[in-house]
Amino acid sequence: MTGPHSTPARQRRDRTPIVLGIVAGVLAVVVGVTLTIALTRDGSPETAPSPRPPAQTTAPDGTPSAEPTAPDEEPAGVQLSATGFALVDDTGAETFAYRWSDPSEPAVAALTAAFGAAPEQRTEKGDGSHYPDYTVHQWPGFALYDMVVSEGGSDRDTYAQPSWIRVTANTIGEVAVTAEFGIQIGTTVDAVEAAGPDTDFERNGALRYVFAADRSSTAEETPSYSMMADTDGDAVTAILYYFYADL
């Protein structure tokens, strides 16, 4: 039966599903947003920090520089004299000094560093009396002779010639070897004679010239030698710092 009040009641019943659908939709949206926030905060991994670039060496002025390298060193020179020899740097400053009566080990080490290579070694036999055996430290063009002290033989500290040098090259590698009186390997015989040697004598078919003959002495604590120049008849082939005795 229909009456004047039946239509509003029906309309209210018809609206109920619509309202419930709207509420359900809103709740679904709210739940979705909540889950999204939760997952974003708790479930996703944090972004890893970018790795730092490797440290770079910088020069004092702030510019990048390569790995440090050893500075280039100017080769030393060897200067020969009456009482021994000295190693000098490129400014002429003395870096090592050796006297003929000094132990040879430091000299061999210093020359090895200067020449860039260790020497070959051999023994030069003496005469069993006045001339002892010598250990020869031989670089190409440079030889250091060091006496071998034997039982009952001469003592190094009192012997006139405990060590001596023979040079056959003006440079060993890049290291210049400088003798006295302006003489070097290759100096002509005429130039040697013009330099004023004290004397000369024949040896192995050619002349050996002696400079500062009166300098050979054991009067001081360190022996003092003359300088000798061997020739082949035309030019100097070897320079020796050797004790000269006018027999």
Q: pLDDT by residue (tens digit) across 66-77?
A: 343 333 455 689
What span, in angstroms and rounded, lies between the C-alpha atoms of 125 and 104? 18
As a whole number, mean pLDDT of residues 136-151 equals 95
Q: Quickly state the pLDDT bin for 130 (edges 50, 70, 90).
A: confident
User: What Å distances lie between residue 129 and 70, 99, 125, 150, CA to CA?
Assistant: 50, 24, 11, 11
The domain spans of the chain are: 77-242
| Complete DSSP assignment for 115-171 | HTSPPEEEEE---SSSS--EEEEEETTEEEEEEPP-TTS--TTT-S-SEEEEE--SE
As a whole number, mean pLDDT of residues 204-223 equals 95
Task: Check whether 18 has a pLDDT greater than 60.
Answer: no
Q: Quickly state the pLDDT bin for 131 (edges 50, 70, 90).
A: confident
What span, in angstroms and rounded, lies between the C-alpha atoms of 132 and 154? 8
118, 142 in Cβ contact below 8 A? no
170, 184 in Cβ contact below 8 A? yes
**Which amino acid belongs to residue 238?**
A
User: What Å distances lie between residue 197 and 71, 208, 244, CA to CA?
Assistant: 43, 10, 13
Alpha-carbon 139 to chain mean position: 19
Task: Check whether 44 has a pLDDT greater than 70.
Answer: no
Task: Check whether 31 has a pLDDT greater than 60.
Answer: no
What span, in angstroms and rounded, lies between the C-alpha atoms of 87 and 55? 42
